[in-house]
Amino acid sequence: MTQTKKAKEKTMRAVALDRFGGPETLQIKTVPTPEADADEILIHVESAGVGAWDPFEREGGFVEVLGREPKFPYVLGTDGAGTVAAVGGKVKGLKEGDRVYAAELGNTKGGFYAEYAVVKADNASVIPGTLNMDQAAVLPSDGLTALKGLEDVLGLQPDESVMIFGASGGIGHLAVQLAKRLGARVFAVASGEDGVSFVKRLGADAAVDGRSDTVLDVAREFAPDGIDAALVTAGGEATDRALSAIRPGGRIAHPNGVMPVPKAPARVSVDAYDGEGGREAIDRLNQLIEAGPFEVHVHRTFPLEQAAEAQAALEEHHLGKIALRVG
């Protein structure tokens, strides 16, 4: 193993599970500080993203899907941001003191609900644009998922029309802005009047409350011949009704985990996909974010000690994302 500079602290505070289960398993504990291998960095975490998938991980879902044997105490948290505390000997382009954000799914060295986290250097980047730590912490997984859906899966082209269903949520509000960056015309289906106002402010060309009876009327006015493509982040009857506005030959994409699985109209393709990280994807996301004003919306922040409350807030109506303040 290539030696790295060790963090000043040999132990750290973390939300660590002794077993998988409900919110009661989220406990503050003192655990060993992880050490970075040659291709990794150690991050002094300031903020962690609270993902919609975190309760699934808390219940043991990730290790089952990934086929791994869990190691307890188990630290949650896929996304986070902070300052580089140590770098591995093979790491290029990042140095101690850099303000970075990162994502690593099911990290065997522990997640971001902690004072320190280790990630592969290729899964981290200097924070783009003018984002603060909370905004950067909640960005990576949802930003990368939105971008892959729009660019790689849908192959969205300039001047095409795209429906973003769930537009005021974590993936959705980023997708609205990224689709505009790609030159598309955006029809945003949001949650509530506040959600509609929010996505209009973010640049959506047309927006409607997904619970209203006017979704298809507004869609037909927006694109009389039908909408070219859709990125769907929430499933159900309202979703399937809205998707009838997609034109024949159009296409639909949704991240794996959207349930129920969206139903396509006749002659419309549906593709499920996983968001992916890595240097190339992160650099592309950064490039688009830095092309102009870009908002990563943090609805609420909670202290580390209130991780259970933060996860409960995922079930409440909110815009954008929720963050956990670590440092």
CA angle 30, 307, 273 (to 5 degrees): 110
Amino acid at 263: K
Which pLDDT does position 3 carry in this prediction? 39
Whether the pTM exceeds 0.85: the reply is yes
pLDDT at 7 over 50: no
Determine contact, residues 305/13, Cβ cutoff 8 Å. Answer: no
24-38, 56-70, 215-229, 230-244: least confidently modelled range:
56-70
pLDDT in tens, 283-307: 999 999 999 999 999 999 999 999 9
Does position 102 have pLDDT exceeding 90, yes or no? yes
Task: Give the pLDDT confidence score for residue 91 in this predicted structure.
Answer: 98
Q: Residue 8 — very low, low, confident or very high, per pLDDT cuts 50/70/90?
A: low
pLDDT tens digits for 225-238? 999 999 999 999 99
d(CA 23, CA 202): 34
Q: Looking at residues 39-44, what average pLDDT do you find? A: 98
Q: Is the pLDDT of residue 5 over 80?
A: no
Range 246-253 average pLDDT: 98
Percent of the chain residues topping a pLDDT of 90 = 94
C-alpha–C-alpha distance, residues 94 and 110, integer Å: 21
Percent of the chain with pLDDT over 70: 98
pLDDT of residue 66: 86
State yes or no: pLDDT of 22 exceeds 80: yes
- The mean of the pLDDT values for the chain is 96
Q: Is the pLDDT of residue 165 over 60?
A: yes
Domains of the chain: 11-139+296-325 (3.90.180.10), 142-273 (3.40.50.720)
Q: What's the mean pLDDT in 191-209?
A: 98
What's the CA gap between 265 and 194, in Å, rounded?
A: 29
pLDDT at 1 over 50: no
Gyration radius of the chain over CA positions: 20
Buried b or exposed e, range 260-279, using 16+ CB within 10 angstroms: eebebbeebebebeebebee
In this predicted structure, the answer to whether residue 55 has a pLDDT above a threshold of 70 is yes
- What per-residue confidence (pLDDT) applies to 4? 43
Q: Place 327 in a pLDDT band, splitting at 50, 70 and 90.
A: confident
Spatial CA neighbour of 82 closest among 125, 40, 122: 125
pLDDT digits (tens, 9 = 90+) for 151-164: 999 999 999 999 99
